[in-house]
Structure 1
Amino acid sequence: MFRSYDGLCGIGELAERAGVSVKTVRFYSDSGLLPEASRSAGGHRRYGADSLERLRMIRSLRALDLSVPAVRRVLDEEDAGREGGALEDAVAGQLRALGTQLRALRWREAALRSVRECPPAERADRLRLIGAVTAPPSTAPLARFWRGWLPPRMPARAVSAFLEVAVPQPPEDPGPDQVLAFARLSAMVSRPCDGDGPTQPHAHKAAGARASAVLYAGLAEAYDLAGAEMRRGREPYPGEALDGFVDAYARARDTADTPVLRRTLARQLAADPRIDRYWELTAELVSPPGGRPEPTPGSAHDWLLAALEGQAGAGAGAALTE
């Protein structure tokens, strides 16, 4: 209870009991978070017995860095006797924001270590390269690169599925080498391209949006199968992964999977333009430091192409001896 005869207290006593300044109590009152019970004849604020507990609740919510509007929603819900989600939503929002801040700090720490650990003569260039990347890093430039590379008019769902495979996600707790790999990747896709944009392999130029969607969906499945074989340390060989790989091209071209198609496809894919550097940097980014390189769509494609070339070459040799 307060010391006064009427059970109310002034702003000074409330501030003293709560361990805050008078200015803080006045701010919360003016913000509508801490209602006054009445005013004295001289116009001074008077607070009821429940104000102390309410003030402590406000302080606890503010200590979680909740905004004044968020605190008001929580208190309004409590005043109404509802068990709503205002507090849960506010805490969840703060956790998301804190997670973003922590990722940014980890990224900055690894970036600074990358600059510190490189030879002194390279530090200025390293700093400019890494400094061009936001913290936490954004994958938007990589997505734009692939959107320009993909066939036009592909269904949005097919494009999104491809981007999930082709755009690597930066690690939550990166090492200096991974920060450098992502910075180089971002610089690579942000450079102006010759002509109208990134060059797409001729073998990928399917006719129409539906055929393109069929092709890339089939390739994604084949890359997954090949990636599993690569993790086991298997050398390229004809099997389920290669069959799915060729079948994706066959269905997109509305033709059958034949030895002739496989030999033609092997020649076309071997002669097509490549973006090996993109996949090399992607592997550096997604692989654990010092561990086995994690398969990427690019390395899976190379594994499948090697299997296809080996099979096509063996088939051509057998045909010559018949």
Structure 2
Amino acid sequence: MNGTTPPHSIGSLSARTGIPVRTIRFYSDTGLLPPTHRTAAGHRRFDDAALQRLRTIGVLRELDVDLTTTRRVLDGDLLLAEVAAAHADAAELQIRALRMRLKVLRLIARRGATPEETTRMHRLTQLASDERRRLVADFLHGLDADAPAARNAAAALRTAVPDLPDDPSDAQLAAWMEIAELIADDDFRARLAHAALPPADEDAVPGAAPHTAADLVHQARQAVTAAMAAGTAPESDGAVPLVEAIVARFAAALGRPAGPELREWMARQFEVGHDPLVARYWRLVWTVNDWHVVPGHLPFQPWLIKALRTPRPGCTIAD
């Protein structure tokens, strides 16, 4: 510097950059920030180029770039753009992991999970995507070894395998956890193994002519689908006129009183092949896969069964 002493001491560098003196001294001792000059007393001095180098070091360290990589960037052995791209990818993975952690914590809080449930939830959410798929595949493979009805169920379930995305929403994560619990449940497997296939509309109303039965089921499906789309709960007062109208149509077609006995008989007919737990599984799959739920494509029978069996003032449920 034309014979002049570089202007910056370690203290000056610290004041200008906010980096502690001890850290700057470490950088200098390791050769990452060599002094530009030493005074007769051996004190280190640094020029403006060293000041800029220190600022670059500080930025890279704040971005979590390790010292070895930082040295290679400063020495020109690595392009900063390459390092930035690699660390951006790593940061994205860390952010994704933190988001998943946040969602798991929210789910634990909402459920009031026990320590055992929390351990299971954490383990299930840590599975890689291929491990999650294998978990479902093993469940379906087990169904194949059961009764013919179970094999039919497995074939249907294979048409829509739940696939949790890497960055799921809170609803998707909660749905995946419920699916994982269902497929680990022996009772759920048994219900699938012994489930009957739902009858065709024309066969769903014993005692009625095929075309009459088909019309009755079609009208019930349309009415219930509209109620489901409107968010009407089967136990609510809003469901009463709809259910009474459906029961009245069945009573007229079958020549039976529109009383509790008919309501229970109808509920039993609509139960065939429509296990509410299986219907719940399908809804969970739609949520995990972020599919648009079209009410007309979902089973209407569980809603109607619950509505038919909901006690109403002045209506005695048949035994």
TM-score in terms of structure 2 length = 0.47
TM-score in terms of structure 1 length = 0.46
Larger Rg: 2
